[in-house]
Amino acid sequence: AQSVTQLDSHVSVSEGTPVLLRCNYSSSYSPSLFWYVQHPNKGLQLLLKYTSAATLVKGINGFEAEFKKSETSFHLTKPSAHMSDAAEYFCVVSENDSWGKLQFGAGTQVVVTP
């Protein structure tokens, strides 16, 4: 069975400061891990994905995440927040034998203040 826990339901950062969104996962098999972003009234957009290649994954819009198997974590970071980063972020896990079924975390709401 697979599951994912996002440790923060709400994160508030100032524009220009670093962003850290925490995610821990549980998986019986080798997982694939994703971060998606959802802006209000828009579809989910893939930020980045880990599929057993490099453990440090770079995504779009300056985001990156590091897969740490020993800590079962896949935290998302960005060095400098932009106002346009305000959105809901979902950490997602998929097991390689689950025919593509995704398990979503509860989400983290990011607020960026000027």
Partner 1 sequence: GAVVSQHPSWVICKSGTSVKIECRSLDFQATTMFWYRQFPKQSLMLMATSNEGSKATYEQGVEKDKFLINHASLTLSTLTVTSAHPEDSSFYICSARILTAEEQFFGPGTRLTVL
Smallest distance, partner 1 to C-beta of residue 44, A: 4
Smallest distance, partner 1 to C-beta of residue 43, A: 4
| Interacting residues toward partner 1 by CB under 8 A | 32, 34, 36, 42-46, 49, 51, 90, 94, 99-107
Between 12 and 17, CB nearer to partner 1? 12
Smallest distance, partner 1 to C-beta of residue 49, A: 6
Between 100 and 114, CB nearer to partner 1? 100
- From residue 33, alpha-carbon distances to 8, 15, 17, 41, 91 in Å are 18, 27, 25, 24, 7
Residue 102 near residue 49, CB atoms below 8 Å: no
Distance, first Cα to last Cα, the chain: 41
